[in-house]
Structure 1
């Protein structure tokens, strides 16, 4: 990940794009690319969306847009000094606390019970 991020930074530097790669501009570009990814799925049914990678043309478009989203995210993180993997791990940690996993019987998976609101007893 770090090597790809460095490659993107070097690519932009070789073209003197740094003045344009501000956090605001990179966030906007990231949003545009995410929207282009969404556009591929816009009018598909859920079933069609699940099969989008079966068609070589649409699969190519999906891969290109995923690459664009990731490229802008990595450039955004480089501009602000954010380690994306560390940020993701911290967010998952917080979400695990905020949203404990529930078992099918309504109890908390791997933890203490939170109450009997789903109990039939």
Structure 2
């Protein structure tokens, strides 16, 4: 795959699940539960680190590999949730950023 995009990744994830007959288990509830578990596994890596250690976590190759794998797991489940619920994740994020910009305007400088 030379160019990555959300739709291609979602299609690959769906094909992976179909090939293993996993799609009956890929309900919104199950996918969100799995997403939570994977996010917790990512959190576990950082749990007892100082702020300085957490900023340097990618310097250690073993830890960087674990972080990268957990980020991939979180993203995979999030993309599957979006696919099952018919949410365009990029549109959802853009809309949320727009709302946050209105909700939290840049303060005027004194």
Bin the TM-score by the shorter chain.
Answer: over 0.9
User: Which piece of structure 1 moves more, 96-105 or 36-45?
Assistant: 96-105
Question: Can you give the 5+ residue segments of structure 1 that lack an aligned partner in the other structure?
Answer: 106-121
Q: Deviations over 1:10-55 (max 9, x none)?
A: 1001111011000000000000000000000000000000000000
Greater relative contact order (CA < 8 Å, ≥ 6 in sequence):
2
Per the alignment, residue 19 of structure 1 pairs with 24
Work out whether 1:67 is the aligned partner of 2:72.
yes
* RMSD over aligned Cα atoms: 0.8
What TM-score do the two structures reach when normalised by structure 1? 0.85
| Structure with larger Rg | 1
Per the alignment, residue 119 of structure 1 pairs with none
What TM-score do the two structures reach when normalised by structure 2? 0.93
1:96 alignment partner, one of 79, 98, 101: 101
Runs of 4+ that moved beyond 6 A:
none
Question: Can you give the 5+ residue segments of structure 2 that lack an aligned partner in the other structure?
Answer: 1-5
Q: Tell me how far apart the structure 2 counterparts of residues 79 and 41 of structure 1 sit (CA, whole Å).
A: 30
Q: Which has the higher helix share?
A: 2
Shift in Å at residue 103 of structure 1?
A: 4.3
Alignment size in residue pairs = 105
